[in-house]
Structures are given as structure tokens and as C-alpha cells.
Amino acid sequence: MIPRYAPKDVAALFSDEHRFDTMLEVEILAAEGLAALGVLPNNEVAQLRPRRPVIDADFVREVEERELITNHDTAAFVDLVQSRIGMPEGAWIHYGLTSSDVVDTALCVTLTQAMDIVIVEATALRDALTRRAQEAVSWPITGRTHGMHAEPTTYGAKFALFALQVNRDIERAKRARDGIAVGKLSGAVGTYSNINPSVEAYVCERLGLTPVPATQVIARDRHAEVLYACAALGTAMEQFALEVRHLARSEVMEAQEPFAAGQKGSSAMPHKRNPVLSERLCGLSRVLRGYLLAGLEDVALWHERDISHSSVERVILPDALQLTVYMLRKATGLADGLVLFPERALENLHVGTQGLVFSQSVLLALVEQGLSRDDAYRIVQSAARNAVEQRRPFREVVAEDEAVTLDEAAFDRIFDATRMLAHQQRFLDALTWLA
């Protein structure tokens, strides 16, 4: 991931230093498990931790140099660890294991740690959206369908629905986290031919993982589920950001991204306050969905394993997790700092639409008056068209129709937005985590 979109804490998880350090922990734990069974000498295995090499930039560089000879990165890693520890103790590193035992288990540790961060940040976004929902639950705004004025809703309803979507994605992320918190140390093709299953259980317990049956590799549908959780969160953020972009348009101006002192919206036009953060979130969500497609392609491997997934995962897994956390933190800032213009929203609702958002209420009132639904529909439809063409208030045009016998009190009730928004508390009631 390019540094621009790489949070340092997540990037550190996917660094070579962390990868090799986690792999080394797997190796040492496996040797300890074998020693507990009496397979390896306890006195020599006991020296592995005291002699454990420091995994730093120099260690990584030496592995890379060794790989030029071995053309196998795990073999290069094992060679260097054994040489740093020394013999005879170093000989017990990688005893009875295949590369995937170490690499896959270590990767699952890292992905579990990364998903823990994702869940924390997704919860922060959900809570930010919830706060805004509580703040603006009674603030009317024009609801739009197909991009057209529909009926009144509230800012709070919008925020609540976004919060509910993110909360569903949090549950998906938790399931994906649990699905990837697994390990395997069952050797070539997964039959435990050279290692006892109790060693796998010992290593996984100490790493916070669950041992699972596997071929030579852990099933890749688990990794794809992690990528789906990331893509789903990205899509939820896109949904929110897209709404901000629409509401921020000059002719709408019902919301605006936070604009810091000294910020410039355009290099050429000083008046611009472009929704650049929202546009960035929309764009990056496309990247996350692309990672998911690649992850799904990795699920089907030849027989007990091939290596076609490996090169793909080295790119998409670190990038997806870093990008997801980056986006979540940016989206939370957007939710917290979003500027709302309720007065402008009211103006758009009543004046900008000429009152057309109350057309269904007029239709129902005419039906109650005794007209057939079709006759009432035609009257309202014609009045709406005339109101737009003549740029006159919809209420005034409707009242002029001889077939309409509604009195002023009835019109006042029909064109009262608060009447239509009487049940907005239902949106807050759905935010069950508030309890």
C-alpha cells in the first residue's frame, strides 16, 4: 500500500519484521510442543528462546540475500534462524513442519490482529453516525428517490440508517475475524504424518487460534471472508460518502464536508469547497471490491495445495486491511465533522420543491373526501405539473381546482412536515447498542 493510505499501526503488522517475528514464534512453539511429547530433547529446545534472534531490518535483509540462493523465502528464513541460534539447538527449528504450517498460521495471527483494529474503528464510525442521528432526528430534509424530490424525512433518519448498515458490517467483520483466527500444523497435505496433532493444539492455544483440519494450506474461503468484510465496510462508507456528495452540491447545499483553516478547495477557483474526502472514500471502495474478487479467485487451488494464491495474497491482504482502517478513520472524521444546514433543508423542502413533497398527502385527503383514487391522482398530478411550470406553490394550485373541497385547516394539516415525521424516534429505537 502506498504510504498515503497506510496507517502506521496496520502497516507495522504487515511488515517483514512482524511477519518473520510471528513465523519464528510459531517455529519455537512447535519445537516446545514436540519437546513436551519427548520427541525433541528438552534441554536443547529450552535454549531456543534465550537464543532467539532479533528480527530487525538487518535480519530481513539477510533473509532476502539468502533467498537469492534458495529461491524459497521460508527456507531462507529457516536457514538464517538456524545459523543465528547455532547447533545443535537450531536443528530443531522447522522440525516436522512444512512451510505452509508456519506461513499460514503466522498470517492468520496477523489477520486476526488486523481485524481487531478494523472492528474497533468500525465501531467508532458507527458511534459517530449514531451521535449525529441523535442530534438531528427531528431536523426535516427532503427525501429523494431516483434523485427526485419524494417526501420529507430527517437528517437523523439518514444517519441512523447508515449506522445500522455499519453495525451489520461490524457483525460480519466479527464473524470474519473468528473465521480467520485459526491455525494448522499438520504437515504436508495435512495428514500429521510427521507431527502429532497435540502440537498443533499447543501452538494454536498460545497464539489465540483454533486448530482446524486442512490440506497443506488453510482453506482460502476464510481469507475471502475477511476481504468481503472489508469490501462491505467500504461499500457502507461509500453509501454515506455518496449522500454527502449529493447534499453538498451547490444547488442543494444541505450539508458540507468540514473545511479546515488554510484548506484550499481548488487551485484555480477560491470559492470552491469540494467534497474531496467523500469522493476519495467512494473511489477507494472500488479498490476494496477489487481485492475481494482476487480473494475469491484464490479459493480454488489444485488438489491439496498449489501456490497460485500466495503472490496474490502478498498484495491484496496487506493492502485491503490497511485501506479499510484508513477509510474507517477518515469516514469517522467526516461523520463527526459534517456541517449540516437545516435551514437550507427547510427552504428546499417548502420553497425549492414548491411543496410537491406533500403530493401523496393531498392524494389521500382527496380520497377521504370521496374521490376515486384514479380521479384524485389525476388532479394531483396535473396540479404538480402546473406548479412546476408556473413556478407557483403546489398548495395554491391544488386549492384552485373545483373538484377539491378541502378547507384551510385541512390544507394546514396536509402541508405540515412535522405530521409526516411523527415516528422518527423509531429510527433511534433501532440503534439497540444505545441501551
Residues involved in catalysis? 146, 266
Distance in angstroms (rounded) separating the CA atoms of residues 177 and 228: 11
Torsion of CA 8, 10, 12, 17, to 10 degrees: -160
Neighbours of 37 (CB within 10 A): 12
CA atoms within a 13 Å half-sphere pointing along the CA-CB vector of 253: 9
Distance in angstroms (rounded) separating the CA atoms of residues 128 and 182: 32
Decide: 193 and 11 in contact? Cβ < 8 Å: no
CA dihedral over 34, 38, 41, 45, signed as positive or negative: positive
Those residues whose C-beta lies under 8 Å from the C-beta of residue 311, and which sit 6 or more positions away, are none
Could you tell me which of 304, 104, 266 has the C-alpha nearest to residue 200? 104
Distance in angstroms (rounded) separating the CA atoms of residues 395 and 351: 11
Burial call 104-134: b when 16+ CB within 10 Å, e when fewer: bbbbbbbbbbbbebbbebbbbbbbbbbebbb
Could you tell me which of 332, 329, 231 has the C-alpha nearest to residue 284? 231
Write out 276-340 in H/E/C secondary structure.
HHHHHHHHHHHHHHHHHHHHHHCCCCCCCCCCHHHHHHHHHHHHHHHHHHHHHHHHHHHHHHCEE
